[in-house]
Amino acid sequence: MELNTINKTGTWSDAADRINNNFSKTSTEVDKLKLSSIRNKGLFSTLDALKSAIPSPVVGDWAVVGNSIPGPIYQCRTKGTWSATGQTGGGGEVDLTDYCTKEEVNPKISELERNIIININSLQNDINAYTIEQAINLVPESKRRLGTKIRFRNSMNPRDFAEATYMAADTSLENWNNLEYWKTEEKVIDNILLNSTTYNINFITNSPTSSFTLQTARKYIKEDLRYYGCHIYYRIFNS
């Protein structure tokens, strides 16, 4: 790279032009150095594609030719020439120092699975009430383990539900159906959760601007959804 000489004499305009030109040349050479320092040139579908993209490789450059990585490695051993190495690779190396092993992760996953509550009503896609005997038999076998926790409606009141936790390590059918191994707890949905049984009559009837009276609105609630504590809301004016 040949740089312009900055003369001590002359105008500032001439000197500035020379300086700017030198900066441009220097920047170009720096970019070339950056590119030359990256020996891995990437993945190319064919050797012709590699030669077309990088026709003048320097010694040490290498690339993968194929449709996936790892793949056949080509390397420049003679300036300007790509040659097959007979090796495959290209995936690079990953520092796994800070990664958990499978043995470390699996117990954590099991712990998380034990803390997941299986909602029987959601599983069955219904709003029925269940006994504990019925509910535990609806748990998939793959989910049956020590600490399995289930939730289900235990009455037709939408506020009432029960939770039960399996307390044994043996999940044989005999043990699973033994209520002595289940810790049950009855609960009442609080006012926030109760909003999940609130029905928008305008939404149900697909008439967002219509108005209703209590008498006309309540008839749109299906009989199997009519429970103690059920909430409905609707527009009473068209405006």
Counting runs of H as helices and runs of E as strands, what totals does the chain give?
Answer: 9, 10
Amino acid identity of residue 17, one-letter, is D
Q: Model confidence over 8-41: pLDDT tens digits?
A: 666 666 666 777 776 777 766 665 555 445 678 8
In contact, 167 and 146? CB cutoff 8 Å = yes
pLDDT tens digits, 133-177: 999 999 999 889 888 999 898 887 766 789 999 999 899 999 999
Q: Decide which of 196 and 148 is more confident.
A: 148
Residue 68's pLDDT band, with cuts at 50, 70 and 90, is: confident
- Overall average pLDDT of the 82-105 stretch: 75
pLDDT confidence of residue 94: 52
